[in-house]
Amino acid sequence: MKRYPVQYKQNKNIVYSSKYHIVFCPKYRRPVLVGAVADRLREILNEICAERRCELFQMEVMPDHVHLLLEVDPQFGVHRLVRLLKGRSSRQLRQEFPHLKSRLPTLWTNSYFLSTVGGAPWAVIKRYIENQRNV
């Protein structure tokens, strides 16, 4: 299997390569991320990542969960980024799609899955996320 060279990023203090696979779900794992809601969610997550200079490599929005493959500045923090992604997307989606307010007390669960991707071959992780739609 071909391994790609590590691409390092830097800010004024550090040089880093910190890639993460993140998965989070709507409350009660309800299948509400479909159609216009899923499209708008993709836009919101892309906007937030662009704002925070976080590189979003892969995203798959399933009806009942979201997979992200991204790289974030460790000084900003992955936990802080996940809170921002979930918080802002919840607020905006619930304002734009009132049916989400009536079905769910909050859009997202408090928990999420997080895995570093440093040791795994990059192509394998990307393929896994791309193939989630076919499972």
3-class DSSP state for residue 33? coil
Residues 19 and 69 sit within 8 Å (Cβ to Cβ): yes
3-class DSSP state for residue 49? helix
Concerning whether 112 is annotated as a catalytic residue, the answer is: no
How remote is the C-alpha of 52 from its chain's centroid? 13
Dist CA 35 CA 37 (whole Å) = 5
Q: Which of 16, 28, 112, 128 is catalytic?
A: 128
H helix intervals, 1-135: 35-51, 78-96, 99-103, 122-130
Would you call 21 exposed, middle or buried from its count of C-beta atoms within 10 A (0-12, 13-18, 19+)? Answer: buried
- Which residue reads 């193939």 in tokens? 131
Residue positions annotated with a catalytic role: 128
